[in-house]
Amino acid sequence: MRPLTRRQRVVVGIWVVLAVALWNGIFEMMVVRGVKEYLFRAALHEAGRRPFTPIAHVMDPAIYDATWVATLWTSVILLAALVTIRVVGYRVPGTGYR
Q: CA 46, 48, 50, 56: dihedral to nearest 10 degrees?
A: 20
pLDDT at res. 7: 83
Alpha helices in 1-98 (DSSP H): 6-46, 55-88
Domain assignment present for 74: yes
Q: Please tell me the total count of domains within the chain.
A: 1
Kindly indicate the confidence band of residue 9, based on its pLDDT and cuts at 50, 70 and 90: confident
Q: Which domain holds residue 62?
A: 8-87
Mean pLDDT of the chain: 90
Domain assignment present for 54: yes
Domain assignment present for 1: no
Domain assignment present for 80: yes
pLDDT at 35 over 80: yes
Q: What is the mean pLDDT of residues 20-44?
A: 97
